[in-house]
Amino acid sequence: MSRQLSECVFVAGHKGMVGSAIVRHLQALGYTNIVTRDRAQLNLLDQHSVATFFAENKIEQVYMAAAKVGGIHANNTYPAEFIYENLMMQANIVHAAHQHDVQKMLFLGSSCIYPIKVRQPMAEEALLTGVLEPTNEPYAIAKIAGIKLCESYNRQYGRDYRSAMPTNLYGPNDNFHPENSHVIPALLRRFHDAVVQDVAEVIIWGSGSPMREFLHVDDMAGASVHIMELDQEQYGAHTQPMLSHINVGTGEDCTIHELAQTIAKVTGFKGRLSFDATKPDGAPRKLMDVSRLELLGWRATISLEDGLRDAYAWFSENALHARSR
């Protein structure tokens, strides 16, 4: 493991769920030179602005946690935004980092990069072996492009740009919009509102039968820094130049119905659960094969119920300010 606590580390997307967790984790480890910029200070969609930022700051490591993210509804409604904004942010940061001699980067992707019909659990080798889930294909294409950007700059220029592909994430600083967010924050918000408003029934999108894996964002932050700090020899022994991404997850999944029951327990909802099967389910099952990461010395530690309690506690304390686009 290689840890240089004085190196200048740029965390892109530090106000988001993943970026803020990475900043917290780096600070806890003793990193002393963490650089952040919000959207008003640095427009990651603007190539010139990003290049100027790297020219003015002696960045030595980059965590690429900035992304346009959302659930099924948001991906279906704003597909152009999802592919354009993610492609542009990734390309701008990777190219500017290379031009200004930044050697180390961690790009954060998503489990949606894998085909809809793929052997479970999903191993890294499944990438580009089949058709993607239609509901978030533009986002997935952008994330695949991000992996290939990193690999291409590694192959052509000798950079050390790594990629981590997390399963479904949740936790503090998530987007808690009841429709435009991912399943856990959306359900936490809706169950919370149902309790406050004394509603007798909560209706959940889909049949409730799909199986999903969920990872608390603090675990994701720990895995991200672990991957970044791996010695090149150790990292290279478990990856290939054109198959270099690493899955990050718990290795365990549950049905959406089981998830809803746990969220009802955490929020104190006593009413009925109903499922709207006219709404799309997405893939029937998505479970990560995390054996590569375990071989590299990392494993998740936060249970789903404990993580949900933490996420709900954060939402309860920050409900008026929680992001809700």
- For tokens 């300010």, the residue is 321
Asked whether the beta carbons of 27 and 223 are under 8 A apart, the reply is no
CA distances from 126 to 121, 190, 235, 238, 246 (A): 10, 35, 19, 16, 12
CA distances from 120 to 116, 129, 167, 255, 280 (A): 10, 13, 13, 15, 21
Backbone angles phi, psi at 17, to 5 degrees: -60, -50
CA distances from 28 to 32, 189, 215, 252 (A): 10, 29, 20, 27
> Terminal CA-to-CA distance of the chain, rounded, Å?
39
Q: Is 170 in the active site?
A: no
Token pair for residue 130?
A: 């089949």
213 vs 183: CA distance, rounded Å? 11
48 vs 42: CA distance, rounded Å? 10
Catalytic, out of 31, 63, 114, 139:
139
Catalytically active residues are: 139
